[in-house]
Amino acid sequence: MTDHVTYPQGKIKSVDFRLYAITDRHRCAPTPLVNIVSALLDAGITAFQLREKDLSDTELIKLAQPIAELCHNYEANLFINTHTRIASDVGAAGVHLPAIVESVGSVKETEIGDNFYIGCSVHSVDAAKKREAEGADFLTYSPIYPTASKPGYGPAVGAASLAKVAEAVKLPVFALGGITPARVPECLTAGAFGVAVMSGVMSPKGASIQAKHYLDFLTNASEVKVRNEMENG
């Protein structure tokens, strides 16, 4: 399923995934990250953010290359956190920019063409509007619920705050932070386009089973949302 989003600049770009998996190879140990990504691809996940901030550029490229090849073979999307040039070099779908980093415009100056996507992390309505104005393609908003993986990002903002962000921008917003499969319906009801998960799928065992739970909840919640909109429309 592909959903078309109309941007403030008048462009139309498609975002064809609802589940956005964020990597953490330390959580996967001792299983190699590439094996986990392969299993998640088999389970049906089609979008990944390679977020391994402790690696040098050389180490990151070495890790990214086989993952990029896997994603290409599965026609899945790979985004590299922060490193635009590495994303381009390995043939990734795009880059994901942290909240405090260069502007989207500076990335667009180095990348030619509409096929390179730029995702951005935001933690407020104002930040979401700013990234939209800069030309981002999609956003992650966090932390929605309490989460152990990002304790430094402040208290959980809740679904009501997620609804305000989703209402404030036209971009696809992915709910992030403490998202369990059972919390997917609440996030979609609040206006999230999809959900982003890290600890939920980054595990040495059972990652693919958990991924299928997320995908099932996303499918069911999306169908319920469409029915409700039709009934109320």
Tell me: the pLDDT tens digits for 178-189? 999 999 999 999
SS3 47: strand
Look at residue 7 and tell me if it is in a domain: no
**Mean of pLDDT values over 20-25:** 98
Q: What is the CATH number of the domain that holds 221?
A: 3.20.20.70
| pLDDT of 8 strictly over 50 | no
Q: Is residue 134 part of a domain?
A: yes
* Contact yes or no for 138/119 (Cβ under 8 A): yes
Decide: 173 and 3 in contact? Cβ < 8 Å.
Answer: no
Domain that holds residue 211: 16-232
Rounded to whole angstroms, how far apart are CA atoms 32 and 207?
13
Which percentage of the chain shows pLDDT scores above 90? 78
User: pTM for this structure?
Assistant: 0.90
Number of separate domains in the chain:
1
Q: Give pLDDT tens digits for 145-173.
A: 998 665 566 789 999 999 999 999 999 99
Q: Rounded to whole angstroms, how far apart are CA atoms 27 and 25?
A: 5
- Would you place residue 6 in the very low, low, confident or very high pLDDT band (cuts 50, 70, 90)? very low
Beta bridge partners of 195: 19, 175
